[in-house]
Amino acid sequence: MSAEKSKGSTGVKFHMIAGGPKPVAPFSHAVETDGFVFVTGQMPDRPEAPGVLPEGIVAQTKAVMENLKIVLASLSLGLEHVVIARIYLTRFKDDYAAMNETYRRYFAADRLPARTCVGVTGLAYDALIEIDLVCRRP
| CB crowding 35-48: b at 16 or more within 10 Å, else e | eebebbbbbbbbee
Q: What is the CATH number of the domain that holds 79?
A: 3.30.1330.40
pLDDT in tens, the chain (138 residues): 555 554 545 799 999 999 899 998 999 999 999 999 999 999 999 999 999 999 999 999 999 999 999 999 999 999 999 999 999 999 999 999 999 999 999 999 999 999 999 999 999 999 999 999 999 999
Rounded (10°) angle between helices 57-74 and 92-104: 50
- Structural domain count, the chain: 1
- pTM (two decimals): 0.92
User: How many CB atoms within 10 Å of residue 99?
Assistant: 23
In terms of residue numbers, what domain contains 99? 2-136
